[in-house]
Structure 1
């Protein structure tokens, strides 16, 4: 007879074997996936050190594994069969549910960022995690699922309901009413949220927050609402799970950049409580090479029906170029920075980042764009030296309007002010004397060689006359 302890040991051996196969190349994986495996191995090796603040609980991983087996696949070629976690899913579970703090027994990882291509059982995994948070415990827990739209968050919620409805062990232990699942004996809940809900999750002490398809979120507001509500929990967990997207100015891409640094062994970014797993094609990988597809599709690319679906999608993308962007992001998990009818590729813009030389050595050209109340008033400048162009700007906005826009549009004007990129002015409209003083200080105090100051004469004639009296060469720019 196999004991519970032996079963847990065998399960962890599966995880360890998976890591070895990733490292050896027997299972092909992308660079960041390999980094995640290296991090896990390093973390396990640290456990033997006396000053390691964590311990590993194989029984807890086994509990999650056994919980998953209580449910059936609800669609696809395995529909109706009990869920058996793949080695890939088990690796994630071993990280999230395996490590605990010695000081208080809380989970080590309070956050998780998981990025992989679509149709790799993301909703299924999230559904298991959500039900596991509230049912096998007598504590009161709250689980919130955050999508940008209600339809998006409802997708995971429906996956949870389907699992629960087909689980005999849970019959009669919960109700599904008023848009939430409630466990009878503890009043624990699972509830979908969206941006329309605004502050519904704020202050309600969520124990598990699930942010689904974060690439579709235009701002971080719903993530922030959930995260801020977790402060009182001893062992909370925030899970972001997503595919890549197009919006390189959105919160998800910023999180992707940050979490990539956490994984990178050559970058000094330590975040002990943040689990990261990114499955994507590496730069330079040929999307037509089927052997690369498993890098972004750790589940789909392991069975023939999944590969057939990927082949079909690629054929369509090759025949209809407009669909290639979608194939790269959704099937190959690559961030694509070029929007339809976009002005420029943002990758080229980011490549311009670098050290700024001494401005006094350049010829400087200024441009002034004035506003009345709602828009920003800005002063832009271009410096030219050795046929290289250097650009910068400073903006002005009435403090009242800044606060309004921060509340409605979630634009971090206060952060930009603190970083020196903006000035808040008093009153309802920008006082152009602030603009005048800034230009004079920028040019004269720094002893810059300002060649011209371009301006639109609408609303700027008086400012142009005043600056001209100070010795600036003012040039009217026609509309």
Structure 2
């Protein structure tokens, strides 16, 4: 029986190590996040530590996003799938990999990032939103792309909708209806839509 491989998790962990060692230039907040990740992976072996890093869950999320197509520019024209860079893998793997011991509930409920323009912010957010919409094991999931203006709210929902339209296997596998202003799954009532304002608590949100 072959051993499982975790190429995306390994790349995320290597990124964290390289940042802490000074091989990759990063701000103090990123350095601290990477150090926490490394320290907590060592601490998870202790019974007193409440969390563990689930490599399967982290790898699953990273793989899912990288099955989705680009929706803008030359790569979209060539119908190329998204490829996450190590820093992006670190964000995704930390968000979806760290869980509470015994329950598998996610440790982190919110993720704050500051990403310059033209670095795939909307595409990655759309991928995360679609993952929460389809693969998060939540019956009747509600996912919102929230912003203070309609234009901003569509910056994540638009690429997510295009990803579905260009990935018929995804739509078929999860029974997604692609509508003009929302995505929904009639089987369980799950929906993903843009929203102006604050959707409140208890919902998956992606914000611009």
1:285-304 matches, cutoff 5 A: none
More strand by share: 1
Q: How far does the alpha carbon of each residue in 1:455-475 deviate from its partner, in whole angstroms, 9 at most, with x for none?
A: xxxxxxxxxxxxxxxxxxxxx
Q: How far does the alpha carbon of each residue in 1:211-238 deviate from its partner, in whole angstroms, 9 at most, with x for none?
A: 22xxxxxxxxxxxxxxxxxxxxxxxxxx
- Contact 1:138/1:186 (CA < 8 Å) preserved in 2? no
In structure 2, how many angstroms separate the alpha carbons of the residues matched to 1:184 and 1:206?
21
Q: Which residue of 2 aligns with 1:140?
A: 140
In structure 2, how many angstroms separate the alpha carbons of the residues matched to 1:119 and 1:88?
15
Q: Which residue of 2 aligns with 1:42?
A: 39
Q: CA deviation at 1:110?
A: 1.2
User: Cα–Cα, structure 1 residues 112 and 47, in superposed 2: closer, same or farther, change >3 Å?
Assistant: same
Gaps in structure 1 of 5+ consecutive residues: 213-479
1:351-430 matches, cutoff 5 A: none
Q: CA deviation at 1:129?
A: 0.9
Q: CA deviation at 1:122?
A: 0.9
Please give the secondary structure, in 2, of the residue aligned with 1:50.
Answer: coil
Find out whether 1:109 has 2:99 as its counterpart: no
Q: Which residue of 1 aligns with 2:4?
A: 6
Q: 4+ runs of 1 displaced by more than 6 Å?
A: none
In structure 2, how many angstroms separate the alpha carbons of the residues matched to 1:115 and 1:177?
31
Matched residue count: 203
Q: Which residue of 2 aligns with 1:210?
A: 206
Please give the secondary structure, in 1, of the residue aligned with 2:4.
Answer: helix
TM-score (ref. length: structure 2): 0.88
Find out whether 1:66 has 2:68 as its counterpart: no
Q: CA deviation at 1:178?
A: 6.0
Match of 2:176 among 174, 194, 211: 174
Match of 2:54 among 54, 57, 80: 57
Match of 2:30 among 30, 33, 41: 33
- Contact 2:133/2:142 (CA < 8 Å) preserved in 1? yes
1:465-476 matches, cutoff 5 A: none
Q: CA deviation at 1:131?
A: 0.7
Find out whether 1:23 has 2:25 as its counterpart: no
Gaps in structure 2 of 5+ consecutive residues: none
In structure 2, how many angstroms separate the alpha carbons of the residues matched to 1:39 and 1:138?
28
Q: CA deviation at 1:210?
A: 1.9
Point out the structure with max Rg over C-alpha. Answer: 1
- Contact 2:141/2:190 (CA < 8 Å) preserved in 1? yes
TM-score (ref. length: structure 1): 0.40
Q: How far does the alpha carbon of each residue in 1:385-404 deviate from its partner, in whole angstroms, 9 at most, with x for none?
A: xxxxxxxxxxxxxxxxxxxx
Task: Name which structure has the greater RCO, CA cutoff 8 Å, separation 6+.
Answer: 2
